[in-house]
Amino acid sequence: MTKKIRIDDLPDFDATEYLDSEQAIIQYLTVVLEENDASLLAAALGDIARARGMSEIARQSGLTRDALYKALRPNAIPCFDTISRVCAAIGVRLEAQAVLM
């Protein structure tokens, strides 16, 4: 007989463990941006900021750590200025691309 696994018994997934290179970060953001979900983007930027060090990203972006944690939590919808500052701090640029219909 196989033992049933309860979802509550599973460990929480932490993407920061896998964001250990520029390539991994770019691939992660690319997939997230394809979802066209602002709150998912905020959470992904939060993952990247935690992987890089929230204090350092706060310093480079000119935002407080508390403001970053609040703006980049799951289901948050930060303003574009915050997204732009965080992207600059982590060294990425969002680019427009034509959508093929």
Inter-CA distances, 45 with 1, 24, 54, Å: 43, 13, 11
**pLDDT one-digit tens code per residue, 76-100:** 989 999 999 999 999 999 888 887 8
Phi, psi of 47 (to 5 degrees): -60, -45
**pLDDT one-digit tens code per residue, 19-31:** 999 999 999 999 9
Alpha helix (H) residue ranges in 1-101: 22-34, 38-52, 54-61, 65-71, 80-90
- Tokens matching residue 67: 């403001």
**pLDDT one-digit tens code per residue, 44-82:** 999 999 999 999 999 999 999 999 999 999 889 899 999
